[in-house]
Amino acid sequence: MTLRLFDTATRDVRDFVPQTPGEVGIYLCGATVQAAPHIGHMRSAVAFDLLVRWLRRAGSRVTLIRNVTDIDDKILAKSAAAGEPWWAWAATYERAFTAAYDALGVLPPTYEPRATGHVPDMVELMERLVGRGHAYTTGPGDVWFDVRSWREYGSLTNQRLEDLNPVPDDVPADAHEAAAKHDPRDFALWKAPKDDEPATASWETPFGRGRPGWHLECSAMARRYLGDTFDIHGGGLDLRFPHHENEQAQSHAAGYGFARHWLHSAWVTQGGTKMSKSLGNGLLVREVLETTSPAVLRYALASVQYRSMLEWTPATVTEAQTTWERLAGFVERATERVGDVGDVRDAELPTAFTTAMDDDLNVPAALAVVHEHLRAGNSALADRSSAADAVARHHLVALRAMLEVLGLDPGDPQWADAGDSRYAAALDAVVGAEISARAEARAARDFATADAIRDRLAAAGIVVEDSADGARWSLG
């Protein structure tokens, strides 16, 4: 089956065919590093990490460019309020995002360009747009894209220009400049510095001194690293308008093919409301990881199909924790039984799993296949005959191979000691005491008490296995 992906531009699921067979170029809008990352940011990162992993598993050479917006209004405002240099503020939170990506097993991009490092590319793009009649200046340092000059403006999000309102960030503070714009919906390519902004936050250009507009950055960096036309442009659902609409308009107006396929991941919500710092409902990654293992958080973010909203409730982590413990517990017990199965990255994947992943990265359907092998594997472990070893090994390899594609292989050193040690220690102590009491009851031939203890543990999801070396327990 050919990989099929939902294309935001065409609004349907269609075959994904890269422009160069065996090679895929992806531009992913990364972080604006103005504050610490919350789990909503990580939803997008994990979603596109799954795409990259699946493409590479299929044999494609993937070039992933994930940018860093290291200068914008919020960075300048927050750094000024804190009395910090804007570039130091941005660097601090860029490191925080990197730490969060690493903790959740998000593979590093091929390159991670910063906006401030690509001013010459932006100037070149502006000159091209002005020369073609699609951009104009209203004063030193202010350059605008003329939306009425591009007939296809609004095509990405299926909106008519007449129905759109100006985006606040693109409205000049100065009333004279606002009146000088050709259309109130024209968006900024370059911004003249404000009087209270540091001189280091602006660059000299043929159009005057200023700093980049948000949209211009990504078009310039995508072309620098992926060429005039590339395969996939991705980002969170909230970026479709105005950011991606504006990117597409300015790149197409400049004569470039730009993205052949658009992918957008849905939000993490609380009470149906998008998670964000501005609303005060963003769960910071560092805070979540104080009580939740990185593997469990990744599982929670990855287990919902990327285009579906993920409603975050107190049960979200609890359910992910329970599932992860079942998966990791099986891998541990099966490995002890049949031995280390080695590297599973090239192991054959079940057909149903491959079909699910090729169907617009349908992770829930793929996880259903994982759980089929988990149940069959546990049944094989319960069978103490030597013939069951081969069956257990088969399911262990298949399960680990599938989870490796999802970045969640419990056998990967990334997830060593993935559980919360406090909970694990407490659970081990409580269950250990119960098993000791059961052993004493059996020694005294009080089988009614021994069976009652075993039933009580089973009701709590604890499986007790008796062997020549004594009883051992696991999460069922």
What is the SS3 string spanning the chain?
Answer: CCCEEEECCCCEEEECCCCECCEEEEEECCCECCCCCEHHHHHHHHHHHHHHHHHHHCCCEEEEEECEECCCHHHHHHHHHHCCCHHHHHHHHHHHHHHHHHHCCCCCCCECCEHHHCHHHHHHHHHHHHHCCCEEEEECCEEEECHHHCCCCCCCCCCCHHHCCCCHHHCCCCHHHHHHCCCCCCEEEEECCCCCCCHHHCECCCCCCEEECHHHHHHHHHHHHHCCEEEEEEEEHHHHHHHHHHHHHHHHHCCCCEEEEEEEECCEEECCEECCCCCCCCCEHHHHCCCCCHHHHHHHHHCCCCCCCEECCHHHHHHHHHHHHHHHHHHHHHHHHHCCCCCCCCCCCCHHHHHHHHECCCHHHHHHHHHHHHHHHHHHHHCCCCHHHHHHHHHHHHHHHHHHHCCCCCCCHHHCCCCCHHHHHHHHHHHHHHHHHHHHHHHCCCHHHHHHHHHHHHHCCEEEEEECCEEEEEEC
Residue-level pLDDT at 416: 77
Segment 342-369, tens digit of pLDDT: 999 999 999 999 999 999 999 999 999 9
The pTM of this model reads 0.85
Nearest-angstrom CA–CA distance, 24 and 18: 6
Residue (of 261, 284, 247, 360) closest to 3 by Cα position = 360
Beta pairing class for 229-236 and 258-265: parallel
pLDDT at residue number 281:
55
The model's pLDDT over 311-331, given as tens digits with 9 standing for 90+, comes to 999 899 999 999 999 999 999
Interior/surface letters 216-255, b for 16+ CB within 10 angstroms, e for the rest: bbbbbbbbbbbeeebbbbbbbbbbbebbbbbbbbbbbbbe
Report pLDDT for 179: 63
Low-confidence ranges of the chain (pLDDT < 50): 419-423
Q: Which pLDDT belongs to residue 39?
A: 94
Alpha-carbon span 125 to 123, nearest angstrom:
5
What gap in Å lies between CA 351 and CA 68, rounded to an integer? 38
Virtual torsion, Cα 358, 363, 369, 374, nearest 10 deg: 140
CB atoms within 10 A of CB 171: 16
